[in-house]
A and B are shown apart, each in its own frame.
Chain A
Amino acid sequence: MKITFEWLKDHLNTNLKEDKLLEQLTNIGLEVENVENSNQGFDLFKVAKILKSEKHPNADRLKVCDVDIGEKDLKKVVCGASNAREGLITIYAPPGAVIPKNKVKLVVAKIRGVTSNGMLCSESELNLSDASEGIAELSSLKYQKSIGKSYFPKSNSNIIDLSITPNRPDCLGVRGIARDLVASGFGKLKEVKEKKNKSTLKQSIKVKINKEKIQGCSAFGSCLITNVNNTESPKWLKDKLISIGEKPISAIVDITNYVMFDINRPLHAYDADKIEKGIIVRNSKPGEEFTALDKKKYKLQNNMCVISDNKGVLGLGGIIGGTRSGTEFDTKNVFLEAAHFDPRSIRSTAKKLNIDTDAKFRNERGIDPLSIEDGLKRAASLIKEICGGEISKIDIQKVETYKNKIIKFDTDLFEKISGFKISYKVMRRILEDLGFKIKKDKKYLKLTIPSWRPDILQEIDIVEELVRISGYDKIKILKPIKERIKSTLTQSQKLFHFLQRAVASKGYLEVITWSFTDTNYNNHFKGENKEIKIVNPISSDLGVLRNSVFSNLSMYLSKNLDRGFKDLSIFEIGPIFKGSNPGEQSTVACGLSAGKKNRLSWIDNERNIDVFDVKKDVIQTLVEAGYSSDKFFIDNKTPNYYHPGKSGRLFLNKSKDEVAAYFGEIHPNILRKIDIKTESLVGFEIFLDNLNLPKKALKDQKKNFLVSDYQKSERDFAFIVDKNLSSQDLINVISSTDQNLIRNVKVFDVYEGDNIPENKKSIAISVTIQSLEKTLNDSDLEKINKLIIETVENKTGAKIRS
């Protein structure tokens, strides 16, 4: 909402200055978004007279004019307008001036060999009107003595752009803003002299509001002004509109706009002669069409509130008028409409047709239902004043009569909510200034809510008015109490934070990517999930919710590789989606590692990063988070985006409830398809929701501290086993032969090839044996050795390598 201090002063008596005004507006909730000096550079545009006009020597359509701008020397200006004739008084813009319409800054320029010092302007170029044919023609009578003076009036008024919240339609009019300012002590509200309408003429166009199941229009006021002479607006009116950045069009349109900006009363002017036998306000029929003032043809659906006549739709009530009945300069008889529309109906129609107009913006927020008559009177009398003609009586058709809301307000509620006190006197003054009518009833106030405040519905809204106008700076600061009743984080939240930092500490950079992704990338990684589309994505390549974090990670990893980085590890911890219902999501810590280890190291051997690197990261992270690796169970069933032979699935224990993590090389086909250029790419996913939370705190989980000081022995074994036998199984078999004595089992070599039969491999294992009770003698050790070999051979079909 744009206003000027000058315009405010039409409603407001105040001695205060503009800087104070700006502060006060923001303080009472009418936030000043921007202040723009409307006058900037406008004083450069001067009233000028063409003294001589000759044909340009090198161009048929151009003229070279000598222009008097009130200085000693005449200015030579090249001009293309056909009306640039000797004696014409027009508007001159010097080099340096910025043309309002296209924001182009003028410079001295040679046009076809003739130097032009500035420019003669059309009304359109100055945003004065749409007239772009020829340069502005000023009346010689009025401007003869103004040559050399600024064309635009001197005004120090700035355009103040306010951000009006959707609950305050009353402040979409200058008077509403003035009223709020007055309540806050910023001057006195001026009385508006009521325009008397002494007409006895009947409004002869019949208006009917149809009975509908849902009728979007509850009242329709109208007034007929006959025998007008529609013209350009007088200067004061043009200036007024220009001062807030609006473009004058014609007197009738300008007047309706002026009344709208002044008191937020939208009006619509029809050419009465174009209305076929009366107005019918009704619901649209599906398929009905009309051409709106934005020159677009709209096809209507069921139940949209339209203003129509016998021939069809004239306009969408409260949203936009039609071209068929619009006023023109030759309009003789004007039919003025001021109606009340249901905000919900306005909004739903505008949404369906995708129309956004100023009228819609105002009507969907709620217009003062009691402003119909006042608005019509003001506009009609202005039309008569400017365009002449006769005004009819005002006709108002209603299907509903507005009743003022009444709220019983408990004055104690103010302090209970705000935490500070104001006197009854102050409370009363504020509410009265805002237009409330007050009746005291013991500790309650019976408040009649002003008709222009659709936002005030209950007691709390009254508190808001009182706090807002008193000033938020009156609210005291009550220091918070440092007391914790409940623990800050839940177990699973703690786990989230722990894993986040545990993964990062393995050398991964944490990234945050969007929860949505490119369907092409997502398809590679969605596994068995179904795609979840966003109906209105920000762009087509961000059209689906991610089924896996890998889609975004691989995309951004690739971008970083393209930047020239080679060895990269990134991870994200966040949601992935399984369905489009709330809650169909889970939290995953997902990482990708690319490139080599020890690249260009002078000391260590360079090698590709591999699946055992990422396995280490996963296991170490889980162990650090408090899970026991002794119980982990790993197999090779992984989703199709992993390398089928070089990836694993990890369960926290063998009972195989939920997958705790996947890890492995990313499938080479995917690398090829998304064109990732790296030597090696491995990744992992840890599913936080599948990590069962310990029932006991870590401190209570620990067993008693028990160690053995008896001598420990290490025995090495090499077994020839089936190629498919997992080392995990072998280790488990060995560990379980004697859990009291076997402390540790470690694979130290795996070998296939020479001397080993095909489909077999050799696994070399070191077993640590130690008793809690005694030092084991040779025969004890021999016994356990034998037992290990026997058990392994029996259970796995392995053979000890001799």
Chain B
Amino acid sequence: MSDLKKIKDEFSIKLKEKLDISEINEIKSKLFGKNGLISSQFKKIGSITENERKKFASDLNIIKDELQNLIDLKINEIQNTEINKRLEKEKIDITLPERNFVRGKIHPVSQTIDEISSIFSEIGFSVEEGPDVENEYNNFTALNTPDNHPARDMHDTFYLDEKKEKLLRTHTSPVQVRTMLKDKPPFKIIAPGRTYRSDSDQTHSPMFHQVEGLHIDKNINMGHLKGCLDYFIKEFFEVDKIKMRFRPSHFPFTEPSAEVDIGYEMKNGKIVIGDGDQWLEILGCGMVHPNVLKNVKVDPLKYQGYAFGIGIDRLAMLKYGINDLRAFFECDYRWLNHFGFDPLDVPTNYRGLSR
């Protein structure tokens, strides 16, 4: 039996025994150390006769690989055992709570404004804004509501001076005035924002939100108005069919004027929009009065169009089943968490307005 075979057999058996990592290392150095058994065999190669040398070298390499392999396997085995042992100790109660996290919310009115803007964006409206403090001219006079007009009684106005020249806007309509004075027709805008009336009870709050709409061009008629609102209401309530009723009314700044009701029914104590034989008033609208167009230097013989004003808080209440208007502004932590929206939930056209 050659030396090689002897080494192989001896160590193959040894490496099958139960060993710890130091014993393996010992074997390793015995074989492959500087003067190890295998290493010294390699040193012999030069002294072997030429015809035997080839075979010897080849056998030696095979044995070297085999033993090397066995050692690697053994080390791997030991490491696995060790990790498994550790893992067994490292077991925790994974049902313990995660680290604290906080979750912010977007107010339903803000979410509703985003939804409204998203819908009107699709049909070409852009968003305009105006100041909360207005002068009497923009809020009333320019809108064909001169002083001593009984229609002013419909708005309980907050004033900032005794002369009643500066006030908190009672509606978003002054944004119409500002927009038309600033730019040239055509106009196609919405203007959401805060509005104020000195009125406070279950259904009225001294501050509330409106969105104004204005579309002025050469041939915009009441059919366009009806089409625009029909589209908006369906999109907003995310229904295919809507029962909508236009009812003649009066606003000084539109002629003809209309109030719009939508059909609803009560199901399990909740309002369901779209069907039913009850009517709910949701907005006022009409064709912009020629006097208003004249006041903002738009020629009423060339241009005409419609305007509307919608109560945003009211829409939010209807869509999201909120019964009390005052709760919008009471900042109750529980209410905000209940009715608020996740900040990542941005209303978009492509994935639908609401989740």
Contacts and interface: CB of A to CB of B under 8 A. Distances in A.
A556 interface: yes
Given A417-B222, A510-B336, A503 B104 contact: yes
Contacts of B148: 343-344, 347-348
Contact of B160 (A364, A502, A533): A533
Interface string B239-254: 0000001111110000
A475 B223 contact: yes
A664 to B, nearest CB: 20
Interface stretch (A230-238, A313-321, A377-385, A480-488): A480-488
Interface in B222-258: 222-228, 230-231, 245-250, 255-258
A482 B249 contact: no
B188 to A, nearest CB: 8
Nearest to A364: B150
Given A166-B153, A477-B230, A478-B226, A575 B247 contact: no
Given A347-B150, A500-B106, A534 B343 contact: no
Interface string A452-467: 0000001011011001
A493 B189 CA distance: 14
A604 B99 contact: yes
A27 B331 contact: no
Contact of B247 (A29, A364, A515): A29
A584 B133 contact: yes
Contacts of A599: 100
B247 A512 contact: no
B31 interface: no
Q: Is the interface of A mostly helix, strand, loop or mixed?
A: loop
A509 B342 CA distance: 10
Interface string A493-504: 100010011111
A190 interface: no
B166 interface: yes
B289 interface: yes
Interface string A517-541: 0000000000000001111111000
B52 interface: no
B221 A418 contact: yes
A513 B126 contact: no
Interface string A586-606: 000000000001110111100
Contacts of B129: 493
A580 interface: yes
A158 interface: no
A590 B286 CA distance: 38
Interface stretch (A100-108, A141-149, A565-573): A565-573
A365 B246 CA distance: 25
A597 B100 CA distance: 8
Nearest to A28: B248
Given A480-B231, A534-B158, A580-B161, A559 B331 contact: yes
A481 B331 contact: no
B123 A585 contact: no
B263 interface: no
Contacts, number: 260
B132 interface: yes
B1 interface: no
Interface string B65-83: 0000000000000000000
Contacts of A488: 117, 120-121, 125-127
B102 A569 contact: yes
Contacts of B304: 416-417
A538 B330 contact: no
A152 interface: no
Contact of B100 (A569, A585, A601): A601
B227 A565 contact: no
In which size bucket is the chain B interface?
Answer: 35 or more
Contacts of A512: 107, 109-110, 328-329
Nearest to A579: B133
B20 interface: no
B166 A167 contact: no
Given A417-B287, A598-B100, A514 B166 contact: no
B104 A487 contact: no
Given A27-B247, A565-B333, A504 B124 contact: no
Interface string A704-723: 00000000000000000000
B336 A509 contact: yes
A166 B123 contact: no
B194 A487 contact: no
A536 B123 contact: no
Contacts of B227: 477-480
A497 B245 CA distance: 34
Contacts of A365: 150
A563 interface: yes
B219 to A, nearest CB: 8
B105 interface: yes
B15 interface: no
A507 interface: yes
Interface in B111-135: 114, 117, 120-127, 129, 131-135
Contacts of B329: 512-514
B104 A166 contact: no
Nearest to A31: B247
Interface string A353-372: 00000000000110000000
A511 interface: yes
A538 B200 contact: yes
Given A419-B222, A504-B104, A568 B110 contact: no
B106 A475 contact: no
Contact of B124 (A416, A483, A533): A483
Interface in B300-323: 304
A535 to B, nearest CB: 4
A509 B335 CA distance: 10
B96 A560 contact: no
A488 B331 CA distance: 30
A446 interface: no
Contact of B131 (A418, A497, A583): A583
Contact of B256 (A417, A536, A574, A581): A417
Contact of B198 (A473, A538, A565, A577): A538
B168 A458 contact: no
B147 to A, nearest CB: 8
A575 B194 contact: yes
A430 to B, nearest CB: 13
Contact of A468 (B194, B248, B333, B344): B248
Contacts of A732: none
A439 interface: no
B32 interface: no
Interface in B142-188: 148-151, 153-154, 158-162, 164, 166, 168, 188
Given A512-B109, A582-B135, A472 B246 contact: yes
A505 B344 CA distance: 8
Given A482-B122, A488-B117, A575-B194, A570 B206 contact: no
B140 to A, nearest CB: 14
11 contacts: A26-B247, A419-B224, A460-B287, A467-B256, A472-B248, A482-B124, A507-B103, A510-B105, A532-B160, A535-B159, A580-B166
Interface of B: 96-97, 99-107, 109-110, 114, 117, 120-127, 129, 131-135, 138, 148-151, 153-154, 158-162, 164, 166, 168, 188, 194, 196, 198-200, 206-207, 219, 221-228, 230-231, 245-250, 255-259, 287, 289-290, 304, 328-334, 336-337, 340, 343-344, 346
Closest 7 pairs (CB-CB, A-B) = A507-B102, A29-B248, A419-B223, A165-B250, A556-B331, A504-B104, A419-B221
Interface of A: 26-29, 31, 165-168, 343-344, 347-348, 364-365, 416-420, 458, 460-461, 463-464, 467-468, 472-473, 475-490, 493, 497, 500-516, 532-538, 542, 545, 556-557, 559-560, 563, 565, 567-570, 574-575, 577, 580-585, 597-599, 601-604
Given A477-B226, A482-B123, 6 more contacts: A416-B219, A461-B255, A510-B110, A515-B168, A577-B132, A585-B132
